[in-house]
Amino acid sequence: MTVTTPYEMWLAFCHELGHMMLHSTKQYCMSRMFNEYQESQADKFALLMMMPGKLIEHHELYDAKDVAYHFKVPFEIALKRLEMLVAKLKIY
């Protein structure tokens, strides 16, 4: 992945930090399925770090356009984060 924009740099940083915080394995020794699982965990970690739920609630950012503008992320990423929050609320 070539990083060219500030958003892409921030996303790559959050994703790799997710690996550091969540995983202690060496990916080259793991199965493909387990690697994919770890990648999805790091992706989720990045979304949570980039757009914390507490800040979304505090600023009442309940529209994907508002989340995207506030956190300077693409609309699709903001929408994905809001979908995660809605799914969490449905569980509770």
Task: Write down the pTM of the prediction.
Answer: 0.85
Same domain, 67 and 86: yes
> pLDDT tens for residues 3-33?
689 999 999 999 999 999 998 877 777 888 9
Same domain, 44 and 55: no
**DSSP alpha helix (H) spans, 2-63:** 6-22, 32-50, 53-58
Same domain, 69 and 89: yes
Enclosing domain of residue 21: 1-50
> pLDDT tens for residues 33-62?
988 999 999 999 999 999 999 999 999 999
Same domain, 43 and 58: no
Same domain, 73 and 28: no
Residue 54: Cβ-neighbour burial (10 angstroms; 0-12, 13-18, 19+): exposed
Same domain, 56 and 45: no
Same domain, 55 and 45: no
Which tokens sit at 38? 């770890």
Same domain, 37 and 62: no
